[in-house]
């Protein structure tokens, strides 16, 4: 953790969640007690179909919501796309961009991710820009270089602590139960902070929240959160269980 930074735990529901699953966010809100509120921010990123109603239900809970992707375009003839302004209008404060599932399954490049992050910032959403290496890249000793390159390509110039969150998610750790060693997370997060310093200036970079994501669970959260420059978590699978999500939040608090 970085002492001066308030941690953020964000839940990425991915393509999971029907109306009945709003019970999960309701239960998270119930468990977000004053002690947790004093020390950790929470955000839930449900599927777009639930965003408006989830956001409305969470008003007053101090739990933020976010989208999982947005269009780089502001509006127009882009069938199936959702603009950042639409997400903001539905109550979102954040939007995940450049998740590895989008980079891999939808061929999203860092150039596109940056355009999405810029569109988000224009709509006053905070983009959670995801970066991370594949297993092959890690085994080839290229993890740091790959992630730095993704950052240079994906992070909008002029971003700062209030307008950017970065999530380091090793692709091979997502949904697999595998996590990098604490030493590898420490090296990567230090390198990310340094690269952001080069891109944004040291002062701006020093306040940006750097989340770790990839198989975060109640059993490993405290250890991961103890690492320098890990300022919270981006949680997939475990965010679909209120008790697990809250346990991770407590580990960050």
Instruction: Provide CB contacts within 8 A for 180, sequence distance 6+.
Output: 138, 170, 173, 188, 214
Closer to ligand PGA by Cβ: residue 121 or 215: 215
Q: Which of 234, 242, 248, 249 binds ligand PGA (CB under 6 A)?
A: 234
**Shortest Å distance, C-beta 60 to ligand PGA:** 27
DSSP 98-145: S-HHHHHHS---HHHHHHHHHHHHHTTPEEEEEE---HHHHHTT-HHH
d(CA 99, CA 190): 21
Please indicate whether residue 35 is annotated as part of the active site: no
Stretch that binds ligand PGA, among 87-95, 200-208, 230-238, 243-251 (CB under 6 A): 230-238
Phi then psi dihedrals of residue 72, to 5 deg: -75, -15
**Shortest Å distance, C-beta 165 to ligand PGA:** 12
**Shortest Å distance, C-beta 216 to ligand PGA:** 5
Closer to ligand PGA by Cβ: residue 46 or 85: 46
Instruction: Give me 109's structure tokens.
Output: 């490049």
Please indicate whether residue 157 is annotated as part of the active site: no
Q: Are strands 94-97 and 63-67 parallel, antiparallel or unpaired?
A: parallel
Catalytically active residues are 99, 169
- Residues in contact with ligand PGA by the rule CB under 6 A: 12, 169, 174-175, 213-216, 234-238
């Amino acid at each position: 953790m970085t002492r001066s930074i308030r941690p953020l735990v964000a839940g990425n529901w991915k393509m999971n969640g029907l109306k009945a699953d709003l019970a999960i966010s309701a239960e998270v809100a119930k468990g977000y007690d004053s002690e947790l509120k004093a020390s950790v921010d929470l955000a839930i990123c449900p599927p777009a179909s639930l965003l408006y109603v989830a956001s409305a239900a969470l008003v007053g809970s101090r739990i933020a919501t976010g989208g999982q992707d947005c269009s780089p375009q502001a509006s127009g003839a882009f069938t199936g796309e959702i603009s950042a302004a639409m997400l903001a209008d539905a109550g979102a404060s954040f939007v995940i961009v450049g998740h590895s599932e989008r980079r891999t399954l939808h061929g999203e490049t860092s150039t596109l991710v940056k355009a999405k992050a810029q569109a988000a910032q224009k709509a006053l959403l905070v983009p959670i820009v995801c970066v991370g290496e594949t297993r092959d890249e890690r085994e080839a000793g290229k993890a740091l270089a790959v992630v730095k390159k993704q950052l240079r390509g994906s992070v909008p110039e002029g971003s700062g602590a209030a307008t950017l969150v970065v999530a380091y998610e090793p692709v091979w750790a997502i949904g697999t139960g595998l996590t990098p060693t604490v030493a590898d997370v420490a090296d990567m997060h230090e390198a990310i902070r340094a690269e952001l310093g080069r891109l944004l200036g040291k002062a701006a970079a020093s306040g940006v929240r750097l989340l770790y994501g990839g198989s975060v669970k109640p059993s490993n959260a405290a250890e991961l959160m103890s690492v320098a420059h890990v300022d919270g978590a981006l949680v997939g699978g475990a965010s679909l269980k209120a008790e697990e999500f809250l346990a991770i939040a407590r580990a960050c608090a």
